[in-house]
Amino acid sequence: MVNKVYKISSPKEEKIGSKHNQILMSIVVCMPILAYGTAMGWISPNKAPLMSENPPSDKRLTEEDVSWMASIMFIFAPIAVFVFGVAADKFGRKNALLFASVPISLGWAVKLICSHPIALIGARALIGFGSGGGFVVCPLYVKEISEDSIRGMTGTFVIFSQTAGNLFVFILGDLLPFNTVLWILLAIPLIHFCILLRLPETPSYLIKCGRNEETAKVLAWLRSVPVDDKSISEEVDRLIIEQTTCEPKFSPKLLFADKTAVKAFWVALIVNLTREFCGCIAVLVYASHIFAEAGKGGNSGISLSPNKQSILLAAVQIIGSFLACQLVDRTGRKPLLIITSAVAGFSMCLLGVWFYLQSIEVFMPGWVPIVALCVCIFADASGLQPLPYVIMTEMFNFQLRGTVATLIMAISLGTDFALLKVFSPLNAIIGYHSTFWVFSFICLANVFYLIFWVPETKMRNLEDIYADLEGKKRKKKNDEVVETNHV
């Protein structure tokens, strides 16, 4: 029996190698994001037990303790964005990712050793720091090991890893004891660390360090072709040219020196912040608690427990993420973002109506909050969550992209902290119905902002996008000048 390494599909086209190593490596690399998803969703199934009369912790938690647990991750994550951004450039993508797994592992270990409220809050700060680093380095690592034909698919692994982490921890929290779940979640960053030790550095960073021969060997392994294959030498030459012509550096001064780039920055920032303030993150973190509140007072008609409803919510999120991968290149960024923002807004409005009627003892069918939350999370995963980042990367050149991503990611994570910190106190002051109506207003206001101020970026060059940002009148004026010159 002969093993066929090269498969010839036609006389002119030869398909060689395999993409399996790239895909498997991308999945392993994104494990810190999986750990982030589990950490973000961990509070949902554990809030009620931790606040009960017989908590699994050393001390019964208060609402204030839980709000700090939910939000503390997002205080240290923005700091990690800058720290790991520098570390990835100075010490390599692999070493930066190895370091990211250390605080995440320590965070879960602290929860196992001591479950005092202060220890739990400190543990989540450690996890937030490591996860923030993962959000910087993981997309960079995946991009640099993937060839162009699968870069879009492997790029979505970041979103899938987060949503898979949410679903995973919801299921574990519903089925297994408190400490058993912590042991399993501790295993994730440890496994990531051990596997990553055996994986190579990215080709781009190796070229930067002048290790051209090692780069060829890594590329050959990633592409599953012989190291002396012509395609490998061509790719090494291309990487060398990229490094010498334009090396991206963190430079806010360069960004703000260009007026049109500044306009693009504000557009990208507002679109990203709208996603943070649409309420979907708070819904995921407090999912079980929200469902429990929705089931109070009268016959709700809900046969599933709050935890199982949260599992359903996370499953819907994964389906939405998969749909986004299929639709984003077909419908365009702007139409899909407008539709999902409108759907999320109306869903939040319906949820607010549910809680308001409940407060005056008028009860709607029990399936209403489940459907409203599921539709909202589906809209978030299929548009509101992934598309702002896509738009952000397409509105800037290669040199500015890293600077913009770092700034916007740090600001977004900071707003996540603010939102999660005030979510519970805000509900106590104005009620759940008013809180969800605020979220609804933000989503619907975003629809008008998208229609009138955000340009479409799909399959368009920067000149066309920036012409839209500078205004239609200026564009028309330029067209008239061209016509006059022709005359």
CATH number where 56 lies: 1.20.1250.20
Residues 266-299 pLDDT 10s: 998 998 888 888 888 777 777 777 777 666 654 4
Both 275 and 356 in a single domain? yes
Give the CA diameter of the chain.
Answer: 86
What is the overall mean pLDDT for the chain? 80
Q: Which of 199, 234, 265 is the last residue of a domain?
A: 199
**Three-class secondary structure of residue 366 per DSSP:** coil
Residue 351 lies in a domain: yes
Q: Reply yes or no on whether the pLDDT at 302 is more than 60.
A: no
Closest CA to 283 of 368, 362, 166, 177: 166
Residue with the larger pLDDT of the pair 387 and 477: 387
**What does the block give as tokens for 282?**
């708070």
Which CA distances in Å does 289 have to 251, 301, 436? Answer: 43, 17, 15
Q: Reply yes or no on whether the pLDDT at 219 is more than 70.
A: yes
Both 431 and 288 in a single domain? yes
Q: Determine the Cα–Cα distance for residues 374 and 72; give it in Å rounded to an integer.
A: 26
Both 176 and 270 in a single domain? no
Coarse DSSP helix, strand, coil percentages of the chain, rounded to the nearest 5 percent? 80, 0, 20
Residue 212 lies in a domain: no
pLDDT at position 398: 59
Q: Which of 199, 223, 240 is the last residue of a domain?
A: 199
Are the beta carbons of 60 and 53 closer than 8 angstroms?
Answer: yes
Q: Reply yes or no on whether the pLDDT at 6 is more than 50.
A: no
Residues in the chain: 487
What are residue 15's DSSP bridge partners?
Answer: 7
Both 182 and 281 in a single domain? no
Residue 67 lies in a domain: yes
Say how many domains are in the chain: 2
pLDDT at position 248: 60
Q: Determine the Cα–Cα distance for residues 85 and 369; give it in Å rounded to an integer.
A: 40
pLDDT at position 343: 92
**What does the block give as tokens for 149?**
């034909």
Phi, psi angle pair for 16, to nearest 5°: -125, 160
Q: Determine the Cα–Cα distance for residues 365 and 354; give it in Å rounded to an integer.
A: 9
Q: Reply yes or no on whether the pLDDT at 231 is more than 90.
A: no
Residue 112 lies in a domain: yes
pLDDT at position 482: 44
168-189 average pLDDT score: 91
Both 193 and 262 in a single domain? no
Residue 64 lies in a domain: yes
Helices (H), 198-332: 203-208, 212-223, 230-245, 252-256, 259-277, 280-285, 287-294, 306-331
Both 267 and 123 in a single domain? no
**What does the block give as tokens for 31?**
């494990």
Which residue is it, tokens 């069918």?
365
Residue 334 lies in a domain: yes
**What does the block give as tokens for 217?**
């060997």
Range of the domain at 104: 16-199
Both 194 and 285 in a single domain? no
Residue 485 lies in a domain: no
Both 274 and 379 in a single domain? yes
Residue 9 lies in a domain: no
Both 38 and 123 in a single domain? yes
Both 259 and 397 in a single domain? yes
Single-letter residue type at 20: H
Both 331 and 433 in a single domain? yes
Q: Which of 179, 199, 219 is the last residue of a domain?
A: 199
Both 299 and 428 in a single domain? yes
pLDDT at position 325: 64
Helices (H) and strands (E) in the chain, counts: 23, 2
**What does the block give as tokens for 214?**
């090692």
Confidence at 10, pLDDT banded by 50, 70, 90:
very low
